[in-house]
Structure 1
Amino acid sequence: MESGTEQPGDETEPKKVDIKETIFGHVKDAHDWHLFELGETHVTVPLPVIIYNPVRGTSVFTSSAFHHGHEAHDGYRLVTPHYRAEKGLDAAKYPTDEIIAVDGNDNPTGEKIYDLSITKNITSMIIAAVLLIVLMLNVAKAYKVRGSKKAPKGFQSLMEPVIIFMRDEVVKPNIPGKSAAKFTPFILTIFFFILINNLLGLLPGSANVTGNLAVTAALGIISFVAILLSTNKHFWGHIFNPPVPFGVKIILVPVELIGIFTKPISLIIRLFANILAGHIIILSIICLVFIFGSLNKIAGYSFLPVTVLFNIVMMMLELLVAFIQAFIFANLTAVFIGQAMEGAHDEAHH
């Protein structure tokens, strides 16, 4: 952990709160873990930076070497709004917190580099994965010691109803036959991994993991692969040769093919949009204090109780959303897997 202060002379005017930068700075990924600020002092946890350059090779160092974006290190620099404005760079081409290659004069070289760093979101996912493994191993150990016939105790009594509910109300009704038992660990892993990340994201100073499109896309791709591996000849026969007149097939086959890809895309967008929107709303309500305070100090302090009240309500709502979105992702994954397995029975169901 390190503390850093803004260098003098960086700004000629008094520092103003950039609402847009404040909100998106909290919800996007970063190369260090920013905890809080005390005046001009930034308290952060440096994270490993791993850069592969086809010309220079691999560079490994910690993000503290960038000194909060004020200095370059080993021919690389962390883009900040100040650096971008100083060099007159395009914001679309050089987004904030992106690492770029620079020359001896601190100017971008345009070299192609591959950022393999352990970022804030990756670190949070590792923490969530460790928590998931530890929690599940403790539950498994309790079953091994006490047996399945005895009433659960402690943490086991908290987890057992959730596990049984997911197995009996989500997996078994949607995935037929013996395949239900095979896919139960997969569905439970998805549910608890998303839930833990959703809950960690509500803590102050935490990472917005499930509100990151790359993370939800990875989860969606995993579900997509599981769905494809569950398909059979009846499923593909229904896609490419649906039981409709030939003229309708010309229209229906492309629609069915598109539907294969829209299912995981709906999982990706739904989780990403709901979690990100909740975080942005909470941060926007907090920023209203600074907006009113910039107009009038009394107005800022007067609006503070309203902000606290609204945020308590929003945090309670986000706590509910954390459970709902984890359940919806796991439930729809089970539904899509079951649909892929029961292609032969579609007509009977209709």
Structure 2
Amino acid sequence: MKQRFYIILCSVLLLSSLALPAQAAAAPAENGGEDLNVKEMILEHLADAYEWHIVSWKNKHVAISLPVILYSENSGWNVFMSSQFHHGHSEYRGFSIAAEGKYAGKIVEKDAAGNDIRPWDFSLTKNALSLIISSLLLLLIIMSVARSLKRNPMEGKKGFVGLMEMFILSINEDIIKPAVGKDHARYAPYLLTVFFFIFTNNILGLVPIFPGGANVTGNIAVTMILALCTFFIINLTGTKEYYKDIFWPDVPTWLKVPIPLMPAIELIGLFTKPFALMIRLFANIMAGHSIVLGLTAIIFVTVKLGTTINVSMTVVSVLFTVFINLVELLVAYIQAYVFTMLSAVFIGMARMEPHKVD
């Protein structure tokens, strides 16, 4: 088991140190040897896309084309593959991928005045496909583990099943039970699903080759939906005592009337909790990916400074990239753990019981 773990870990680090420089090298090659724009390179790799770019080599692109599904008020429904755009350099059926402006990276069309407008876009993008892949992978893993545990529930499990059992018990016993309280079994399925969903996508985001490399949990739309799920569960299952503590908290009356100062603060707190969940996960994952790409870019930024400096900085870049990837493996777990823990704490706060007077 240990040998397999070390082999997988070394493979991830090797792929990270090799594939990321190869992707970053695509920009100078496409620009005919021009200086690498680090900011644009990082933002391009972090952004969503209509194709899944694999590698670029000698001005040739290897990418997985994804279906584009659009509804235009001018031409109705349009369904075609993203390869028709030729990596964003061509127009097809009046649609194109905007290179700049507020719609940069998105599909646009021209209106009667020649301005860019957005059609209704239902396309399967890179992040959307990654979400489907990670969800199917998670279902496969959890169902296989559940089947194994159901077959021999009293038998001690080894290998991957034993590892998953340890994870599940750890999250349930150390986070869910203490934070939620007596109703923990009611919320355990959701909280366990959130933990493994975030952790799986965090790990896949560190793998630079298909089906990894998508910036799913570094996309604020994804973290917003996860935070909203927790928000609705908290407030739809909250007790009467929870709402009483919001609208009529146990504080001096002058803090509640005639100016409802404390109720206003408590009401604002309803929205700051999911907002904190959303921003914390988004910012940490986005920052981690940006640091890795920034360190990789050092290799190409120092090309014109001479061979000696470039070689030395390449060694530094690779060493720091590997180190940050190791840190990111830890962060992938910590961010899933923190999101689940805070969600459990907020749910537990909403399940408060009436205060007993001795």
Could you give the per-residue CA deviations for residues 34-72 of structure 1, whole angstroms, max 9, x where no partner exists?
111102112111111111123422111111000112211
In 2: Cα distance, 1:162 partner to 1:289 partner: 38
Q: Summarize the alignment of residues 116-127 of structure 1 with structure 2, pairs less than 5 Å apart.
A: 116-127=122-133
* Residue correspondence of structure 1 range 229-308 to structure 2 within 5 A: 229-249=236-256, 250-308=260-318
Greater relative CO, 1 or 2 (CA 8 Å, sep 6+): 2
Q: Is the 8 A contact 1:75 1:103 kept in 2?
A: no
Tell me if structure 2 keeps the 8 A contact 1:132–1:192.
Answer: yes
The match for 1:51 is 70
- TM-score (normalised: structure 1): 0.88
Partner of residue 94, structure 1: 103
Structure 1 counterpart of 2:132, which letter? I
Number of the residue aligned with 2:92? 73
- Could you give the per-residue CA deviations for residues 106-130 of structure 1, whole angstroms, max 9, x where no partner exists? x954444111111111111111101
Structure 1 unaligned residues grouped into runs of 5+: 1-5, 85-90
* Residue aligned with 2:80, SS: strand
Matching of residue 166 in structure 1 with residue 175 in structure 2 = no
Cα separation, partners in 2 of 1:220 and 1:50, compared to 1, 3 Å: same
Deviates more, 1:236-245 or 1:53-62: 53-62
Distance, in Å, in 2 between the alignment partners of 1:145 and 1:321 is 34
- Contact 2:35–2:301 (CA<8 Å) still a contact in 1? no
TM-score by length of 2: 0.86
Q: CA deviation at 1:243?
A: 1.4
Structure-1 residue corresponding to 2:232: 225
Pick one of 297, 302, 325 that aligns with 2:335.
325
Distance 1:20 1:237 in 2: 49
Cα shift readout 1:249-299 (whole Å, capped 9, x = no counterpart):
221111100001100110000000000001101111111111111333432
Match of 2:5 in 1: none
Q: Could you tell me how far 1:176 is from its partner in structure 2?
A: 2.1
CA distances 1:164-220 after superposition (whole Å, capped 9, x unpaired): 11111111111122x211111111100000000000000114101101111101111
Q: 1:132 to 1:307 in 2, by over 3 A?
A: same
The CA distance in 2 between the partners of 1:149 and 1:283, in whole Å, is 47
Query: Which of residues 196, 201, 205 is equivalent to 1:197?
Result: 201
> CA–CA distance in 2 between the matches of 1:44 and 1:112?
24
* Preserved contact between residue 54 and residue 112 of structure 1 (Cα < 8 Å): no
1:88 is matched with which residue? none
Rounded to whole Å, the distance in 1 between the matches of 2:95 and 2:234 is 42
Q: 1:27 aligns with which of 46, 51, 56?
A: 46
Distance 1:336 1:103 in 2: 47
Residue 79 of structure 1 aligns to which amino acid in structure 2? A
Q: CA deviation at 1:103?
A: 7.2
> In the alignment, what sits opposite 1:213?
220
Q: Distance in 1 between the 2:128 and 2:304 partners?
A: 36
In the alignment, which residue of structure 2 is the partner of 1:150? 155
Could you tell me whether the CA contact under 8 Å between 2:126 and 2:214 is conserved in 1?
Answer: yes
- Report the Cα distance in structure 2 between the residues aligned to 1:224 and 1:294, rounded to whole angstroms: 51
Aligned length: 323
CA distance in 2, matches of 1:108, 1:116: 23
Q: Which residue of 2 aligns with 1:132?
A: 138
Which residue does the alignment assign to 1:87? none
Contact 1:51–1:115 (CA under 8 A) maintained in structure 2: yes
